[in-house]
Structure 1
Amino acid sequence: MPEYKLSYLPIRYLAEPARLIFHYAQEEFEDERLSFDEWEPIKQSSPFNTLPLLTINGHQQIGQSMTIFRYLAKQFGLDGGTDFEDAHINCVAEYFREMMEKARPFVRFWNRGIVEETVVSNGSFFRKGF
């Protein structure tokens, strides 16, 4: 059985769906939450110098959140059973990615003006997904 370690900053944002997949599949994993100071020295050795990072069996690494989500879904039998189901899952995943991009100002810095501007300019986009 593989050993998984999910590394991210001490926030939910881009790693939370992976955590939810692990819990839903009832799979154990190490939830490594790195401070910015801890992340800086290991940044150069990670794929694309970004987080989240999934490490499998201590040496195989996968970067990029959507790739991690799709990998875990496939490993735990949560991918589609048909090409159409796969396409529908990918559609929802891409919508989630777009939603997270638009929500970035909420996460990166709490600036009331930027948050209000983001909500006003993207309100219909957020409402459509729910």
Structure 2
Amino acid sequence: MSKPKYIYFHLRSRGELPRLVAAVGGLEYEEERVKFSEWPGLKSKTPYGQLPVLIVDGKWYAQKLAISLFFARQVGMYIC
């Protein structure tokens, strides 16, 4: 698996949970912070037309909870 790329706006809000899970678990990932002026050009490329987005091996995934659970599984924090 390649290094995941996390894309979100340059602010703390809904996108902060995946960042926190990755930080606690020590997960290495690439982060891209989008400015609001760049958003209209990126919106059509994202699933559901929203952020945050996670790109893993060329596949785009959306929804902060799904991304948080993915990160948690990667670092062994997910217990079902």
Length-normalised TM-score, structure 2: 0.88
What root-mean-square deviation, in Å, do the aligned CA atoms of Structure 1 and Structure 2 show?
1.3
More helix by share: 1
**Aligned residue for 1:35?**
35
Aligned to 1:45: 45
**Structure 2, gaps ≥5 residues long:** none
Partner of 1:7: helix, strand, or coil?
strand
- Are the counterparts in 1 of residues 18 and 65 from structure 2 also a CA contact under 8 Å? no
Question: Structure 1: which 5+ runs fail to align?
Answer: 81-85, 87-130
Where is the strand percentage greater, Structure 1 or Structure 2? 2
The percentage of counterpart residues that share the same residue type is 30
Q: Which has the larger radius of gyration?
A: 1
Q: Give the number of the structure with larger relative contact order, counting CA–CA contacts within 8 Å between residues 6 or more apart.
A: 2
Give the total of aligned pairs. 80
* Aligned equivalents of 2:35, 2:69: Cα separation in 1: 26
> How far apart are the structure 2 equivalents of 1:15 and 1:3?
18
Structure 1 runs of 4+ aligned residues shifted over 2 Å read none
